[in-house]
Structure 1
Amino acid sequence: MNAQKQTDLSYYLSQDVTYDQSIPTPESVIGHQVGEWHITHDKLVYYMQALAKSSNRITVENRGTTFEGRPLLLLTITSPENHKNLESIRQAHIASTENNTVTTGNMPIVVYQGFSIHGNEPSGSNASLLAAYHLAAAQSEDVKNILENAIILFDPSLNPDGLQRFAYWANSNKNKNPNPDPNDREYDEVWPGGRTNHYWFDMNRDWLPVQLPESRARIASFHKWLPNILTDHHEMGTNSSFFFQPGIPSRTHPLTPKLNQELTKNIGDFHAKALDKIGSLYYTEESYDDFYYGKGSTFPDINGGIGILFEQASARGHLQESDNGILTFPFAIRNQLTAALSTLEAAKNMREDILQYQHDFYKNARQEAKKENGKAIVFGDEKDAAKTFHLAEILKRQHIDFHELKADFTSNGKQFKKGHAYIIPKNQKNTRMINAMFEKRTTFQDSLFYDVSAWTFPLAFGLDYEENISTSNAGAKVENLEMKTGTVATKSNYAYLMEWHEYYTPKALNAILNSGLRAKVGMKQFSINGKDYDYGTILIPVQNQNKSAADLFKFLQKISEESHVQIDAVETGLTKGIDLGSSKFRALKQPKVALIVGEGISPYDAGEMWHLFDQRYDIRITKLDNNSLSNVNLDRYNTIILPSGRVDSGATKKLKEWVQKGGTIIGYRSALNWLKTNEFIKIDFKKMERKATDITFEQRGDFRGAQVIGGAIFKAHLDRSHPINFGYKADNIALFKNNTLFMKAAKQSYNNPIKYTKNPLLSGYISKPNLDSLSLTVPFKVKNLGRGNVVVFTDNTNFRAFWYGTNKLLMNAIFFREEL
């Protein structure tokens, strides 16, 4: 304990090393010893910039900003000589992944070191101060040798907004006399905590979807260099020790080469030796996994690199009681520093083997791809260019080549339209990444998963796709990706029509209603001017509006361009089907939406919704804190969303009265239990019996874990005439599910507008008892309560910002709430 209290450099760094006195120590810039206080992001930035100014071993770049405007720094750390030839080194490194004849023997190894992607796991970013100082100032031959043989891409804070939020909490609750009592407020940060970024996303799930600015910056850096090793520094429970990979062998994704795990294990020997030297306990291969490629420690594995996860027991503040004695923040920092430096030692010693592994990874991938020459994947939606664009955008960020269609064509009854679809040739460098993104997998070696077991991208986006089409359908390779422009072809003196299929139609409709214009929704299909209009078409009359016909035309032109939607002008109300004056066109009201957040609510679910409204659709949404809900005037809102969680008990009666007066409450996932218990809605859940036979005490955890639905994709049938399904052109949908809530279907079929099919599994793991329970259940239900209604979804329609295909279900529940 006394040794752990020390926070000067002698506690962290070897006293056998001489340090350049011209290089500033962390304390000289940030004003305190590392570990004495939690580093704030602004001070972290100042120190990294100070190092770059004073050391010829370091350069620093700002790759962009977070949602809160904080810089996304990347340091490049290597020898001065390598800095002079950095671009030629980079080009040679990339060439080794593209050319079978390139030899890697004399090349530097590339190591990406990333710290604290979870902001309240801060020992990583605090250790980055020491690691950067050591690499900048140490005069030892060992460090000089590392720098001569390695290019270190150094990311001191993968999550600046979260780190800043947590540092404020820990520092503002620190005691002068440190108190290790785990009940102290210091160790119990307020909702939503510092783990996440501004919109409460777990950014360590975004390496593959790349939906957040922080992710986009680091993925650009990753593909620019294709690092051989990437380290990802995390924290875990206070009573743990230290973990380094490999994880549980049976839970490695089958697309990852076995040699990857062997090399990971060999690197682990260096961690063990270094941690032994300082007397720190550790373990490996007993938990965590390498399955989902959207995590930092697994993403490199499908890109020819080796990802390594570090998990350090967390003090959650400055020091705390634990099963291993008093755990101090400096102790946690020292372990992270030790692992960061042992990684570099491994990289130096294993350089040739790891460089050769990456070279062979892409050589073998090209051989696999060559067998697929002439074959391609096509994806798209003839009615929705925006969703198609956003999947193509991910492919572009992941350096996957794709082409325009040469011409419209049909495959297996699916229409692929030029401008609304793209073709991916399978014969290309990143063919393994393509497989990882597009595959449907339903058989697994293991039944336990640390994260999701499926993420098939065309299913997530709700797009049509075919996997084995000819590349003869491919047109020009897409170099500069641009989203389809919206238009209003001509001015009308009668009315305008907007089909509801395009992804950004909710953004357009909200802007229309927000301006005070009248709009209606068509409850039936119809045809006019030779064009068929589907359920949910939006009608904007020209007469009796707050704008002249000319101004309305200009306004709708602006809206169509900003929302990438087509709006059609018509000059008559006479159609084939319901006429435009029909009562089957229902008047719409401007949504006034509130989102319940705070204690008792899942910050992930709430954040995904906040992001969807705020960033995608430009719909103003009010975040109501759960603890103060009973004091809020709810009459300001016509829709309230309850993400997974529960409402503070003091507000239950008030919320129910608000619904009975005409409000709509939309509940998600575990909120259904709360709504049922408090008699907002009657729900008949289907229970699964878990019978364990011949299960030992040791096996009990795995048995229970196998009954968890960690995240898989299932097929449901749609009644497209129901307003909840407006905008969907097919009669089925792919839904993401990661819970065991199974609602029984209603007796009347029209009350089951979304219903899981008899054999619903599309991709991912689910136990047979759970699959049997899920069959023919419903993920959606709506019931009246007084003059209002209660809408419930068992599943997340907004998962991790990349499940574009189901975002519209929530939008339909909001805009068409009175028609449900």
Structure 2
Amino acid sequence: MTVKKYFLTALLTLFVAALNAQGINYYIPQGDYTLNPAVPSPKEFLGFEIGEHHISHDLLISYMRVLSKSSDRVISQEIGTSYEGRPLIFLIITSEENQKNLDKIRERQIMLTDPSKSSSLPVKEMPIVMWFGYSVHGNEASGVNASMAVAYYLAAAQGSEVDRILNNSVIIIQPAQNPDGINRFANWVNSARSYSNVLDPFSREFREPSPSGRSNHYWFDLNRDWLPVQHPETRHRLEIFMNWHPTLVNDYHEQGSTNGTYFSPGIKNSTNPLAPELNRKLTEDISLYHAKAMNEDGVLFFTKEGYDNFYTGKGASYPDMLGAIGILYEQPSSRGHIQLRNGVLLKFPDIIRYQALCTYSAINAGIDKREELNRFKADSYRESQDMARKGTIKGYVISSDSNISLVKELNSILAAHSINLYELSRDITIKGKSFSSKNSYILPLYQREYRLIRTLFDKMTSYIDTTFYDVSAWTLPLAMNLNYEELLSTEGLVGKKVVKVRERVRKELPLSKLAYLFELSDIYSYKILYDLLNRGVAVRVGDKSFGINIGDKLVSLSAGTVMVPVRGQQLSETELHKVVLQHSQESETEFYSATSSFGVEFDLGSAHFKRVSIPKIALIVGRGASYGTIGELWHLLDQKYSIPASIIDASLLSEIDLNQYNTIVLSGNYRLPKEVNEKLKIWSSFQSNTIIAIDQSFQTLNEIGIADIKERSVGVGNINGVILKTTFSKESPILYGVASNELFLFKRGRSVISESVTPGSIVAKYADNPLESGYMPVPTIEAVKGMPAVLVGNGAIYFCDTPNFRGYWYGGSRLFINSLFFRDLIPSSKIQTK
């Protein structure tokens, strides 16, 4: 550090304490108004000023409840909780008169989305419904802290300007979009701060460890979950969001740059093509209000670079599919209370102030452009109806086959977006595939949320701009590996609206003296498999398809069929029957009671039935780990399959007894010490012990010495999140339960593995024409095609990319679950690639 820089830091340290604390007037607009003394200010309730400390979620919730009780302008709604049990709170703020007519206002707002009703609405008189969401990334804490000042101002200010705002709007505030992440970060930064205001950006206060408060409990980025809807924070948010259908939506973030404040519209050619054409023009108009506020406050800003509006699963782009204007805000982050970074002094109170200023400028824009924005919403739904009418594709037909739980998951996602699924009214055949009305459904495009259906189901391979802030593809039916087809007409096919997906007809399950059988077709049949193993029930799995007579009926069963022998169990015949009968009645998995050991191709006593052992799993985190991928797998196991997994820091691998685990999962670039690699090599040599490696962790497999996997060049740049078709033969146990002849896997980054030279090691490889959706330059496609996607051998299973991307990649996650249960059945030869 130079002498000059040293003295600058020292001088700043002397003065920052006085600069750090700011009263409430710093965060609310200047103007001719008074503050209602009956409404407590943040300091009166908390005992400290906004910005002096990072607010914890419990204090935030308590304050918002107090505002609701002390002001007739404010209603608080609490719907559900986060994973860690923290309430999800929403404030609905408007004038006292509007509060009395709130149901009518909401009904009219929803009518804006109905072309048959919107033209008769008194749009000039209607208030604008505006949404303000703060801190979906929990360690971007200025938003949640700013929400207190905004809510207090709207609840307490008395004057003509605030009356104008409240009379002409309904303001919905979600102060904490990510309660668990917010609390994690607040605990860290409040406990790590120095009260003498250390400015050094390398100080502990500003070096939050992984997993950071950015993510939720399972380390997911909740700002990517608006489309997949895999988490309670998103699901409950959408309950309120779709109930109100706001017209102007604001999403408040922080960024690493110190260049200045960002606000939409962003990169011009990186807007999703499904967004209405007028959307950007209105966004630009609104940006002038933010520019005025920032200019008056002396704040630098940028608006045309850095951020796109392409992936529609983010808080600022999702509204574009619903006739709303979504605005993204990114403030330079102090990541603590005050720090000096790149020569810029970043003070937490200032960042909070900028978020509040951008909130007030958004409110002013919404009020001034109220009629125009409401008409835009109505027009966009009218346009959507025309697009649906003129489009070639009219809908999709979807079969549940023997995977009813998968269609339940699909319907759950669709319902969260107010999209209707219908029963198929008659049997049809499309492209040689038969769809029975007994187990098939139809998704017509001609319905209110046409653009949402399109963004969920469309496949894209053509783009104006090929630079992506996030991913270039996210097609839902490919991710879920649905059995579906496009329809050029839905005439005569639309049956009853689905309220609840039809469940399997429960049949009697007689007590067997021989065995019980069930297939792994349904995605949640693995929950049954784990429960049986956890009870100590001996279980076997068939490695080939076979036929067997059940009573007087010949039943064909697929490879991966689970057999539960009756003899030799710790449970009695009656006790075992009670267990399997309960699973048969409570699940979508059909059980069969064997009446004879005779089979067509082979018998139940055949060596074709292999022993299955319970997985004892360690997910390895720590330095170099990909917490996002590990979190996706943790969530999969814990929430969807109720399978316990230990989360172990890599630094402990040298100390702990690895023999308590039989499955170790790696994702990242760990660079483990030599002695740990040797320990893992010895551990993996024992039967049943397996290392599952993902993405760059093939390097750890190589360093351990149980694989020799090489990358091949993909040219310049990374693969920007694409969906690739894979092909396979169904001989591998990793493919048990897969009904289709192709599987679509998600790919991003740079990991492309060269061709395998080990016979039998390839589970799945990328097709010769692999790109199904997303952007990849031709040289990259050439580098990827025909290359391995999943490899097995010698105590190792390798996935080239995350199998459970964003928690909704049900096709890939099945392969991972199979890897846990059937690791004993993989080839013993070492994985080697050219």
Please indicate the TM-score interval, normalised by the length of the shorter structure: over 0.9
What is the alpha-carbon distance in structure 2 between the residues aligned to residue 808 and residue 113 of structure 1? 38
Equivalent position of 1:695 in the other structure? none
Aligned equivalent of 2:642, options 606, 618, 630:
618
Aligned equivalent of 1:76, options 86, 92, 103:
92
Equivalent position of 2:299 in the other structure? 280
Aligned equivalent of 1:792, options 798, 802, 823:
798
Equivalent position of 2:323 in the other structure? 304
Aligned equivalent of 1:55, options 60, 71, 75:
71
What is the alpha-carbon distance in structure 2 between the residues aligned to residue 342 and residue 480 of structure 1? 44
1:526 paired to 2:546: yes
Unaligned runs of 5+ in 1: 691-706
Equivalent position of 1:696 in the other structure? none
Equivalent position of 1:768 in the other structure? 778
Equivalent position of 1:364 in the other structure? 383
The 1:483–1:596 alpha-carbon spacing in structure 2 relative to 1, beyond 3 Å, is farther
Mapped contact 1:745–1:755 kept (Cα < 8 A): no
> In structure 2, the residue corresponding to 1:87 is in which secondary structure?
helix
What is the alpha-carbon distance in structure 2 between the residues aligned to residue 677 and residue 547 of structure 1? 44
Aligned equivalent of 1:23, options 32, 39, 57:
39
Q: Deviations over 1:741-772 (max 9, x none)?
A: 11122246633231111110000111222111
Mapped contact 1:408–1:417 kept (Cα < 8 A): yes
Mapped contact 2:672–2:700 kept (Cα < 8 A): no
- Displacement of 1:479: 2.6
What is the alpha-carbon distance in structure 2 between the residues aligned to residue 805 and residue 754 of structure 1? 12
Stretch of structure 1 that moved more, 462-471 or 581-590: 462-471
Equivalent position of 2:562 in the other structure? 538
Equivalent position of 2:9 in the other structure? none
Equivalent position of 1:694 in the other structure? none
Q: Deviations over 1:150-203 (max 9, x none)?
A: 100110000000000000000001111001101110000122011111111100
Identity %: 39
What is the alpha-carbon distance in structure 2 between the residues aligned to residue 418 and residue 647 of structure 1? 54
What is the alpha-carbon distance in structure 1 between the residues aligned to residue 204 and residue 259 of structure 2? 21
What is the alpha-carbon distance in structure 2 between the residues aligned to residue 632 and residue 286 of structure 1? 49
Mapped contact 1:374–1:471 kept (Cα < 8 A): no
1:660 paired to 2:652: no
- Displacement of 1:660: 2.0
Mapped contact 1:231–1:308 kept (Cα < 8 A): yes
Paired letter, 2:53: W
Aligned equivalent of 1:807, options 790, 805, 813:
813
Paired letter, 2:357: T
Equivalent position of 2:120 in the other structure? 102
Paired letter, 1:503: I
- Displacement of 1:324: 5.3
Equivalent position of 1:508 in the other structure? 528
> In structure 1, the residue corresponding to 2:230 is in which secondary structure?
coil
Q: Deviations over 1:363-383 (max 9, x none)?
A: 111222234699431123413
> In structure 1, the residue corresponding to 2:312 is in which secondary structure?
coil
The 1:557–1:372 alpha-carbon spacing in structure 2 relative to 1, beyond 3 Å, is farther
Paired letter, 2:775: Y
What is the alpha-carbon distance in structure 1 between the residues aligned to residue 438 and residue 239 of structure 2? 26
Equivalent position of 1:496 in the other structure? 516
> In structure 1, the residue corresponding to 2:629 is in which secondary structure?
helix
The 1:488–1:605 alpha-carbon spacing in structure 2 relative to 1, beyond 3 Å, is farther
Stretch of structure 1 that moved more, 617-626 or 640-649: 640-649
1:675 paired to 2:701: yes
Equivalent position of 1:684 in the other structure? 710
1:567 paired to 2:585: no
> In structure 2, the residue corresponding to 1:577 is in which secondary structure?
coil
Q: Deviations over 1:1-20 (max 9, x none)?
A: 76852421232234544211
Mapped contact 2:83–2:217 kept (Cα < 8 A): yes
1:141 paired to 2:175: no
What is the alpha-carbon distance in structure 1 between the residues aligned to residue 349 and residue 740 of structure 2? 57
> In structure 2, the residue corresponding to 1:710 is in which secondary structure?
strand
Paired letter, 2:601: G
Aligned equivalent of 1:644, options 668, 673, 677:
668
1:816 paired to 2:822: yes
What is the alpha-carbon distance in structure 1 between the residues aligned to residue 695 and residue 508 of structure 2? 40
> In structure 1, the residue corresponding to 2:34 is in which secondary structure?
coil
> In structure 2, the residue corresponding to 1:631 is in which secondary structure?
coil
The 1:117–1:437 alpha-carbon spacing in structure 2 relative to 1, beyond 3 Å, is same
Equivalent position of 1:271 in the other structure? 290
Q: Deviations over 1:390-441 (max 9, x none)?
A: 1111111111112112244432232334454310122211111111111111
The 1:513–1:417 alpha-carbon spacing in structure 2 relative to 1, beyond 3 Å, is farther
What is the alpha-carbon distance in structure 2 between the residues aligned to residue 396 and residue 27 of structure 1? 42
The 1:651–1:253 alpha-carbon spacing in structure 2 relative to 1, beyond 3 Å, is same
Equivalent position of 1:397 in the other structure? 416
Equivalent position of 2:193 in the other structure? 174
Superposition RMSD in Å: 1.7
Q: Deviations over 1:622-660 (max 9, x none)?
A: 111122222111100111111233254263222222112
Stretch of structure 1 that moved more, 268-277 or 429-438: 429-438
Q: Deviations over 1:227-264 (max 9, x none)?
A: 00111100110523210000101100111112101101
Mapped contact 1:715–1:735 kept (Cα < 8 A): yes
> In structure 1, the residue corresponding to 2:692 is in which secondary structure?
strand
Mapped contact 1:376–1:471 kept (Cα < 8 A): no
Aligned equivalent of 1:34, options 35, 44, 50:
50
Mapped contact 2:727–2:766 kept (Cα < 8 A): yes
1:220 paired to 2:239: yes
Mapped contact 1:507–1:617 kept (Cα < 8 A): yes
| Matched ranges for 1:240-639 at <5 A | 240-323=259-342, 325-371=344-390, 375-418=394-437, 420-468=439-487, 469-481=489-501, 484=504, 489-529=509-549, 530-639=554-663
Aligned length: 800
Q: Deviations over 1:273-296 (max 9, x none)?
A: 011111111110111111111100
The 1:374–1:658 alpha-carbon spacing in structure 2 relative to 1, beyond 3 Å, is closer
Paired letter, 1:11: Y
4+ long deviations beyond 6 Å = none
1:711 paired to 2:736: no
Stretch of structure 1 that moved more, 473-482 or 429-438: 473-482
> In structure 1, the residue corresponding to 2:653 is in which secondary structure?
helix
Unaligned runs of 5+ in 2: 1-14, 827-834
The 1:194–1:23 alpha-carbon spacing in structure 2 relative to 1, beyond 3 Å, is same
Paired letter, 1:442: T
- Displacement of 1:590: 1.3
- Displacement of 1:32: 0.9
- Displacement of 1:50: 0.8
What is the alpha-carbon distance in structure 2 between the residues aligned to residue 711 and residue 274 of structure 1? 37
> In structure 2, the residue corresponding to 1:779 is in which secondary structure?
strand
What is the alpha-carbon distance in structure 2 between the residues aligned to residue 224 and residue 553 of structure 1? 46
- Displacement of 1:484: 4.4
> In structure 2, the residue corresponding to 1:545 is in which secondary structure?
coil
Equivalent position of 1:693 in the other structure? none
Mapped contact 2:388–2:394 kept (Cα < 8 A): no
Mapped contact 1:373–1:427 kept (Cα < 8 A): no
Paired letter, 1:199: Y
What is the alpha-carbon distance in structure 2 between the residues aligned to residue 732 and residue 225 of structure 1? 41
What is the alpha-carbon distance in structure 1 between the residues aligned to residue 384 and residue 814 of structure 2? 37
